[in-house]
């Protein structure tokens, strides 16, 4: 068992690596070689990566792929996707191509309100607290002017502050519930700075004006943004669904709708259903330098907003028209953070023609809808494993260190045979015995 180390963060990068290698690895040269292999050859870019987080030793790469032919509000996009899971980019591309000739995707931003809260404890009269809050509210906003002036100049800023009584949930618990408009910035730092100033002013004034004790617990934005909503949808006459793998459009539409309905009432299915949606969403969020963990948390909370976990997508068949849509909360930014620092994030945003935050919300929602359409379409027609395993084939071959010639023969073989792990292993063994 290794000994604890103190002052690790103060070591140089080389010293950190040497300590790790000497402590945990039996083959030190191989470990050192692997770490160095993933450094960027450009020293300036590597220095940039090193400074994104603390204790950086190397880079952890994910593939960056693209899904072309996305027609969104009559404009064509090629969407960047950073993800390691096989078949995701292929499925998104296939869905984009399917809907390209059927009117494409329609998307709209419904609202862009973001939320932050000051959580505090107070053991006095609520009526006194309410009167105090109403008198102090203008000062709360005034004291943030140095923080908000640039955001206000662009048309954003603080929308409102409310006092909320949460004592039914937790004794003496109250909150300042604030709403914000942060325009093209995701706005986390802006919101948190405003909240901390609210808390400071609130506490100082409370000490002067209230007789009862008021204790600020914490000030932090919320990643649950139910009023930062975007909607995306596809629709067409049922007969237009006919394609190479949909011979009976009416039957397909009915089965597809039934599959979505199941995800709306069965949480075990809904979790996997929504995970497929997030395959598309996370990949674009990551490629554009946004916080996919925050997006995940907010989206899954939204899926539970009615008291049980449900599908994020919905389907209807009315007047011989098939409609499939998604409505989700997405707090995204196209300025600030990594958007101006990470070279590939800048590349991805330029590929999307430098979208506004609202544009990006629409693009990301469409990517999630497309991913879900492709998955449910596969599930209700050929089954999901056929396409997934074919995309996974190269991963299996790489696990067995197949040569280029072996890969060529095996890929050809599985063009007409079902891909399973055991079948691939058998094929490799057969070739190697020849």
Q: Which residue among 143, 205, 233, 291 is the active-site one? A: 291
SS3 category, 68: strand
Cα angle, residue 346 at apex, residues 345 and 347 outer, rounded to 5°: 90
CA–CA distance, 371 with 269 (Å, rounded to integer): 16
From the candidates 137, 275, 300, 392, give the one annotated as an active-site residue: 275
Active site residue 300: no
Asked if 239 is an active-site residue, the reply is no
397 confidence band (pLDDT: 50, 70, 90): confident
Nearest of 334, 362, 330, 358 to residue 348 by alpha carbon: 334
The string of pLDDT tens digits covering residues 251-310 is 999 999 999 999 999 999 999 999 999 999 999 999 999 999 999 999 999 999 999 999
Question: Whose structure tokens read 């237009």?
Answer: 240
Q: Say which residue, 406 or 170, is predicted with more confidence.
A: 170
Torsion of CA 92, 96, 98, 103, to 10 degrees: 150
Q: What is the pLDDT of residue 383?
A: 62
85 catalytic residue (yes or no): yes
* Position with higher pLDDT, 426 vs 237: 237
Give 172-195 pLDDT, tens digit per residue: 999 999 999 999 999 999 999 999
Is 388 labeled as catalytic in the residue annotation? yes
d(CA 205, CA 202): 5
The per-residue pLDDT for range 84-100, each reduced to its tens digit, is 988 899 999 999 999 99
pTM: 0.89
Taken in order of first residue, the domains within the chain and their CATH numbers are 8-50 (no CATH), 67-111+229-382 (3.90.770.10), 114-221 (3.30.70.420), 388-433 (no CATH)
Residues near 49 by Cβ (< 8 Å), separated by ≥ 6?
A: 40, 56, 59
> Is 70 within 8 Å of 78 (Cβ atoms)?
yes
- The mean per-residue pLDDT over the stretch 212-237 comes to 97
Active-site residue identified among 13, 18, 50, 85: 85
Which stretches of 123-228 are assigned E, i.e. beta strand? Answer: 157-165, 173-181, 214-221
């Amino acid at each position: 068992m290794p000994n604890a180390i103190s002052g690790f963060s103060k070591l140089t990068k080389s010293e950190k690596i040497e300590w790790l290698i000497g402590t945990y690895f039996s083959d030190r040269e191989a470990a050192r070689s692997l770490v160095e292999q993933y450094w960027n050859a450009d020293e300036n870019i590597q220095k940039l990566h090193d400074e994104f987080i603390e204790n950086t030793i190397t880079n952890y790469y994910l593939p960056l792929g693209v899904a072309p032919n996305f027609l969104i509000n009559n404009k064509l996009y090629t969407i960047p996707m950073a993800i390691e899971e096989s078949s995701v980019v292929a499925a998104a591309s296939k869905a984009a191509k399917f809907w390209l000739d059927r009117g494409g995707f329609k998307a709209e931003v419904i609202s862009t309100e973001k939320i932050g809260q000051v959580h505090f404890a107070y053991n006095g009269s609520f009526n006194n607290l309410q009167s105090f809050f109403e008198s102090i509210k203008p000062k709360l906003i005034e004291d943030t002017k140095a923080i908000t002036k640039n955001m206000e100049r662009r048309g954003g800023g603080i929308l409102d502050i409310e006092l909320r009584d949460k004592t039914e949930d937790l004794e003496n618990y109250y909150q300042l519930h604030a709403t914000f408009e942060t325009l093209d910035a995701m706005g986390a730092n802006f919101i948190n700075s405003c909240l901390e100033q609210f808390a400071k002013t609130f506490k100082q004034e409370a000490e002067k004006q209230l007789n009862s004790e008021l204790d600020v617990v914490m000030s932090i934005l919320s990643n649950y943004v139910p009023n930062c909503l975007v909607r995306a949808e596809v629709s067409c006459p049922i007969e237009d669904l006919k394609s190479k793998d949909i011979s009976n459009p009416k039957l397909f539409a009915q089965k597809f709708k039934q599959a979505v309905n199941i995800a709306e009432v069965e949480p075990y299915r809904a979790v996997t259903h929504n995970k497929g949606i997030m395959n598309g969403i996370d990949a674009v969020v990551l490629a554009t330098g946004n916080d996919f963990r925050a997006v995940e948390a907010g989206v899954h909370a939204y899926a539970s907003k009615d008291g049980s976990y449900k599908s994020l997508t919905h389907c209807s068949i009315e007047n011989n028209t098939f409609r499939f849509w998604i409505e989700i909360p997405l707090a995204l930014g196209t300025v600030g953070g990594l958007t101006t620092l990470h070279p590939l994030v800048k590349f991805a945003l330029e590929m999307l023609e430098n979208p506004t935050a609202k544009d990006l919300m629409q693009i990301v929602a469409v990517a999630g809808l497309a991913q879900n359409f492709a998955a449910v379409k596969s599930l209700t027609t050929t089954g999901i494993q056929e396409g997934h395993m074919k995309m996974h084939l190269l991963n299996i071959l790489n696990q067995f260190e197949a040569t280029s010639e072996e890969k060529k023969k095996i890929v050809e073989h599985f063009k007409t045979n079902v891909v399973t792990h055991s079948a691939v292993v058998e094929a490799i063994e057969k070739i190697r015995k020849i």
